[in-house]
Amino acid sequence: MPVQNSRYMFRFITLMVFFLYLWMYYPGYMSHDSAVHYQQIKSGQWTTYQPILFLILWWMTDLFIEGPGGIFLLLLITFFYGAYLYLQYQPIRAYKKMLGLFVIALFPFNVLLLPHVWKDIAVIAFVFLSLGFHCKSLKDKNLIANRFALLCYVMAVMCRFESVLYLWPLLWFLLSGVKPKLKRSVMFIAIIGTVFLVNVGLEKISDSRKITLWPTIALWDMAAVSIVEERVLIPDFAVGDGMTISDLSQATMPWSNVPLFSSTKAGVFTGIEQPYSEAQYHQMMRQWIGLPFQYPVAYFNHRIRLLKELLRIVESAEKPKTLYYVHQMKNHEKQFIKNDTWLNDLVSIGVDRYIDSWLFKPWVYFMILIVVIPGLLYGGRFSFSNPFNIPLLSCAILNVLVMWVLAPAAEIRYLLPALNFGLLLMLNVWLSKPNIATQA
C-alpha cells in the first residue's frame, strides 16, 4: 500500500476506534469522587480535594456540554490522538500501527477504566499525547512538537501531583535534545518547579479552600501498625475518646482506608472538615515518617498486603468491586442518563462476568513484562533499540513503587500508567523489526 494511502487508512481506523468508544460509553461514568468534583464546579465552592487544573478543564467543557459528557469527550480525544501520534511515528509498517491501536483500545484495563471521569484518566490521556508529540518531534526534528510534548507533560502532572514521583524519567527523556547536561538539568528542575508554582497560583486565583489529604493515608498506616503493636499509635487529636485496639481492628481493612473513617465507634478525624493546627500536622508527619523505622515489620506487612491487593494477587472476600470500576452516574442518575446502548450492555455483561479472571489482574501483565524486559534492554530477535523503552520502563516501575507506599486503597486506576507503559513496551517488542535502531 502506498505510504500516503496507508497514512489515510490509519487515520480512518483511529477515528473508527474513537467513535466506537463514544458509542460504547458516552457520556462516561461518574463515581463518588466525580460527583464531588462536579458539585464544586456547579456551586463555585472549589477545594483542593482534587487538582485545580482538572476542575478548570471540567468547568470549561461544562459550558458547552453539561455534565460528564464534555470532559469525557476531551479526555478521549486526547488519549486516542496521543496513541495515533505515538504509533504513526514509530518505524513500523502500517498494518502493525493499526494492530497496535487495536491492542491499546482493547486492552482490558482501558476498556474498564477510560470511560470514568477521573483525574487518573486525565493523567494517562495527557501522558499519551505527550509521548505522541515527542515521537513526532524525534522523527521530524520538530521543536514545536517537543514543546507541545512538554506542555502535555505539565498538564498530566498537574492533574495528579504525586505522579511527578513516577513520571520524572519521562520529563528527563522529553528534554533529551537539550545540551549540555547542565542546561538539561536546569530545565528539568525549572519545569518541576513551575508545575507547583502554577498550581499554587491557580489555587489562589480560584479562591479554593485548602484540603490536606495525606493524613488519610498516614492515619490508615498508623491504625494498621497499632493493631499489630496492640497499642493506639494515632495522635490523640485525631481519635475520639475511648479509642481501643478492638475498635480499630473492626474498622481497618487491608484494601482501603475509607472504612477506618466511617466504621469506628470512637471516631477517627481526618482533618478535612476541621483542619488540624500546623503543630498537629507536623506531629502527624513525624510519626508517619517514623513508622517504617520504628515498626518496620508491622508497617511493611501492611503495605505489602496492600500491594498484593492492588496487583490482585490476594483478594479479600469483602473487597467491593467499586475499587475496580464504577459503571454508573453516582448521585446524578436522573440528571445524566448512563449509556444504554446494546454495545454498552454487552461490554458491561462481559466486564461483570470476567472481572475476577486473569484478564483484569495487573500482576499477570507485569509478569509478562518481566519476561519481556531482557529483550527491551539488550535487543535481539524480538527487539530493537527504541529510545522510549528505558523511560517507559522506569516510569512503570516507579508507579508501582510509589503506589505501594502512598496508595490509600487497592484501586486499579492507581496503576493505570504502569499498565499502559507496560503495554507500550510489549508493543515495542512485538511490532518492531529486529535490530533497527532509532536515534533519540
Domain boundaries, the chain: 3-209+341-361, 214-315
Mean pLDDT calculated for residue range 273-289 = 95
What's the pLDDT at 2? 60
pLDDT at 325 over 90: yes
Set of cell numbers at residue 192? 518541576
What's the pLDDT at 386? 78
What's the pLDDT at 379? 55
Q: Which DSSP string do the residues of 38-61 spell out, in sequence order?
A: HHHHHH---BTTS-HHHHHHHHHH
* Secondary structure class of 10 (helix, strand, coil): helix
Neighbouring C-beta atoms of residue 293, cutoff 10 Å: 8
What's the pLDDT at 3? 61
In percent, how much of the chain has pLDDT > 70? 94
**pTM attached to this predicted model:** 0.94
Set of cell numbers at residue 2? 502506498
Q: What sign does the CA torsion over 212, 293, 169, 396 have?
A: negative
Mean pLDDT calculated for residue range 135-148 = 93
What's the pLDDT at 381? 42
CA distances from 382 to 88, 371, 376, 411 (A): 20, 12, 9, 33
What is the Cα–Cα distance from 306 to 300, expressed in whole angstroms?
Answer: 10
Mean pLDDT calculated for residue range 212-223 = 96
What's the pLDDT at 439? 35
The model's confidence at residue 307, banded by pLDDT at 50, 70 and 90, is: very high
Cβ-contact 245, 231 below 8 angstroms: yes
What is the Cα–Cα distance from 375 to 155, expressed in whole angstroms?
Answer: 32
Lowest mean pLDDT among 66-80, 115-129, 267-281, 383-397: 383-397
The model's pLDDT over 374-432, given as tens digits with 9 standing for 90+, comes to 766 665 544 446 788 889 999 999 999 999 999 999 999 999 999 999 999 988 877 76
Residues 6+ apart with CB under 8 A from 207: 46
The model's pLDDT over 154-192, given as tens digits with 9 standing for 90+, comes to 999 999 999 999 999 999 999 998 989 999 999 999 999
